[in-house]
Amino acid sequence: MASKAGEPGTGPFEAKTDEFVVKDPEAFGLNMARMLEQIGKAAAAWVAPREKGDFVDGGPVQISEVVQTLSRVSEYWMTDPARAMEAQTNLFASYMTIWNNSIRRLAGEMPDHPVEASKGDKRFADADWNENLFFDFVKQTYLLTTRWADDLVERAEGLDPHTRQKAAFYVRQISNALAPSNFVMTNPELYRETVASNGENLVKGMRMFAEDMAAGHGNLKLRQADYTKYQVGRDMAVTPGKVVAENELCQIIQYAPQTETVFRRPLMIVPPWINKFYILDLNPEKSLIGWLVQQGVTVFVVSWVNPDERHAGKDWQSYIEEGIRFGLDTVEKATGEKEVNAVGYCVGGTLLGASLAYLKAKGDERIRSTTFLTTQIDFTHAGDLKVFVDETQLKSLEKAMDQKGYLEGSQMATAFNLLRSGDLIWPYFVNNYLRGKEPLPFDLLYWNADSTRMPKANHLFYLRNCYHENRLSRGRMEIGGIRLDLSKVTMPIYNLATKEDHIAPARSVFTGCRAFGSKVDFVLTGSGHIAGVVNPPAKNKYQFWTGPAPKDVGSYEDWLLAASQTPGSWWGHWLEWLTPQLGERVEARKPGGKTLKAIEDAPGRYVTVKS
């Protein structure tokens, strides 16, 4: 029952003080000492490589870069006293509104909040964020301050688009890091758990923190799943097949047929080298590769090496010649077929797109159709990954890669996690290190943590020519002395984007369709970069949209208005499109055929090498 004004101590915002009082001070004090011991071990793991003079990867974001960028925003506000006073006055006036509302609630009133958490914000799901006056005040102050900071960036004049994008990104990272849900004293759920367990949760959490700091060799290697439950080749990447060819850059896998007859024209998949190919063969229920084989498609996959110092000079021409072209040669030797359907996923698709123009210029037209999965060809709308790419950062990255000749896989993994730090970093930080709970087994997050390195020449070419200068779609990219002209690529193309993609935004994928000479079949599917692609029909999840060719409509928004929605997976729609490209049925082929001798069982040893 709501309290009346002047009757303190009752009402909906009364603090449940018994839940926030330590019951056993002695046990609590002992656990605090044990927690500090684990923090000391973590600090030692951080210091050790630095004392030894070992190279420690600094991560994708440098503090100096953050300070320099945000200084540009502060310059706009601080150089005009009236403007600065206006911004400060607005902030403090909002604080006073929160304070006055808190006083009114003590009196039993229920005034409206000046700011509300976004719908679905799991950080503030606990009832005490609203019912407890202290935590409600903290939450309101945080939400108001972060939105005020976002507004400062948005309203700052004179910023170039790249600087504004960087500033907005950095402010979002700072806001996510400083959320009251990330601290024991300002998170009611964490506070209650800490009191109930006399701090045992913090002892367990800091033990994991120390282990993860040691595992990261001086940087925190945040665990997102229980990795001990999985093994590549045993629990995932289990579709039967053979490695039928290999060189120093990749292995070529041919999968064993599961039907008596197969389509004549084989299909070759070019996965990203930033991650490992088995996302497309995660387990029998989710495997796109397994599903294709069951439909009678002869599937080959390029399995990239996890590079080291020996591969520092491998550039895009190397990856095309020793990867894609080597794969085409292998397909021809194993099946006798010269014509191939190709699939490229993410950056593997970008490389494949470049190779189409490169190979055509060399008179090699064995690829007769191409499917792109969440692939950017044009990088105008490439999203927040562009934050990490400008001339200053490229020079810094090049200098860092000189040390070993490659970029540590952890850097790219961290960059991807930062794009969605509110989902992929801080919830795990809280659950692991503050609640002291081991993460659950999750095959997708195991794959996500199984990172790969990037050779210096390859990675710098990619960042500069695609993200920084956007050369491929403009016909200005050169590989091996050949100027790549995608307008001369006229083969059938199926281009899949995902609606909630934070790595290859759908608008970016759509824009890239127009670079080709053919009318591309553009398809949009629900969910994001991974779940939208790995969506088997049996799950009956999400939906997909089909519409006119991008060249026949004005903008991405125009395409959305003209598109029609179909529930379920896009896989069946793609197979209908692909079937005319596959040819007639022939007798099933064993891996390697009569020409190539199998080297080892799929998934091969290259994919099992850890960074």
User: Which tens digits make up the pLDDT trace of 174-206?
Assistant: 999 999 999 999 999 999 999 999 999 999 999
Q: What is residue 13's predicted lDDT score, i.e. its pLDDT?
A: 42
- Confidence tier at 274 by pLDDT (50, 70, 90): very high
Q: How far apart are CA 570 and CA 541, in angstroms?
A: 10
- Confidence tier at 331 by pLDDT (50, 70, 90): very high
Contact status, residue 181 vs residue 94, Cβ threshold 8 Å: no
- Confidence tier at 412 by pLDDT (50, 70, 90): confident
Contacts with 424 (C-beta within 8 Å, 6 or more apart), sequence order: 224, 416, 417
Flag whether pLDDT at 120 surpasses 90. Answer: no
Flag whether pLDDT at 125 surpasses 80. Answer: yes
Per residue in 70-82, pLDDT tens? 999 999 999 999 9
Number of other residues whose CB lies within 10 A of the CB of residue 553: 18
Which residues in 576-605 are b (16+ Cβ under 10 Å) and which e?
A: ebbeebbbeebeebebbeeebeebeebbbe
CA distances from 36 to 42, 426, 521, 567 (A): 10, 21, 59, 53
Report the pLDDT averaged over residues 344-363: 98
Q: What is residue 115's predicted lDDT score, i.e. its pLDDT?
A: 85
Q: For residue 346, indicate whether it is catalytic.
A: yes
Q: How far apart are CA 565 and CA 525, in angstroms?
A: 9
Residue positions counted in the chain: 611
Per residue in 477-522, pLDDT tens? 999 999 999 999 999 999 999 999 999 999 999 999 999 999 999 9
Which residues in 325-348 are b (16+ Cβ under 10 Å) and which e?
A: bbbbebbbbbbebebbbbbbbbbb
Flag whether pLDDT at 563 surpasses 50. Answer: yes
| The two three-digit tokens of residue 215, written as one number | 């595992």
Contacts with 123 (C-beta within 8 Å, 6 or more apart), sequence order: 117, 179, 181, 422
pTM for the model stands at 0.92
Q: What is residue 113's predicted lDDT score, i.e. its pLDDT?
A: 81
Q: What is residue 17's predicted lDDT score, i.e. its pLDDT?
A: 64
Higher pLDDT residue, 85 or 23? 85
Look at 16-20, 272-276, 293-297, 314-318 and tell me which has the smallest mean pLDDT: 16-20
Helix (H) / strand (E) containing 401: helix 391-401
Q: What is residue 64's predicted lDDT score, i.e. its pLDDT?
A: 87
Pairing, β 482-483 against β 478-479: antiparallel
Average pLDDT, the chain: 93
Per residue in 151-174, pLDDT tens? 999 999 999 999 999 999 999 999
Number of other residues whose CB lies within 10 A of the CB of residue 243: 24
| The two three-digit tokens of residue 596, written as one number | 């190539």
| The two three-digit tokens of residue 189, written as one number | 């759920």
Q: How far apart are CA 454 and CA 78, in angstroms?
A: 41
Q: How far apart are CA 213 and CA 253, in angstroms?
A: 36
- φ/ψ of residue 445, rounded to 5: -75, -25
- Nearest CA to 128 out of 272, 12, 49, 26 is that of 12
- Confidence tier at 16 by pLDDT (50, 70, 90): low
Per residue in 416-470, pLDDT tens? 999 999 999 999 999 999 999 999 999 999 999 998 999 999 999 999 999 999 9
Q: What is residue 583's predicted lDDT score, i.e. its pLDDT?
A: 96
Higher pLDDT residue, 413 or 14? 413
Q: How far apart are CA 290 and CA 217, in angstroms?
A: 37
Contacts with 528 (C-beta within 8 Å, 6 or more apart), sequence order: 498, 499, 500, 501, 502
* Three-state SS sequence of 314-327: CCHHHHHHHHHHHH
The distance in angstroms from the start CA to the end CA of the chain is 59
Contact status, residue 28 vs residue 202, Cβ threshold 8 Å: no
Per residue in 93-109, pLDDT tens? 999 999 999 999 888 88
Report the pLDDT averaged over residues 213-238: 93
Helix (H) / strand (E) containing 164: helix 161-177
Share of the chain above pLDDT 90, in %: 86
Partnered with residue 270 across adjacent β-strands are 344
Q: What is residue 407's predicted lDDT score, i.e. its pLDDT?
A: 92
Q: What is residue 3's predicted lDDT score, i.e. its pLDDT?
A: 38
Q: How far apart are CA 469 and CA 241, in angstroms?
A: 40
- DSSP conformation letters of 171-228: HHHHHHHT-GGGSGGG-HHHHHHHHHTTTHHHHHHHHHHHHHHHHTTTS-----S-GG
Helix (H) / strand (E) containing 269: strand 267-270
Q: Which of 250, 346, 466, 513 is catalytic?
A: 346
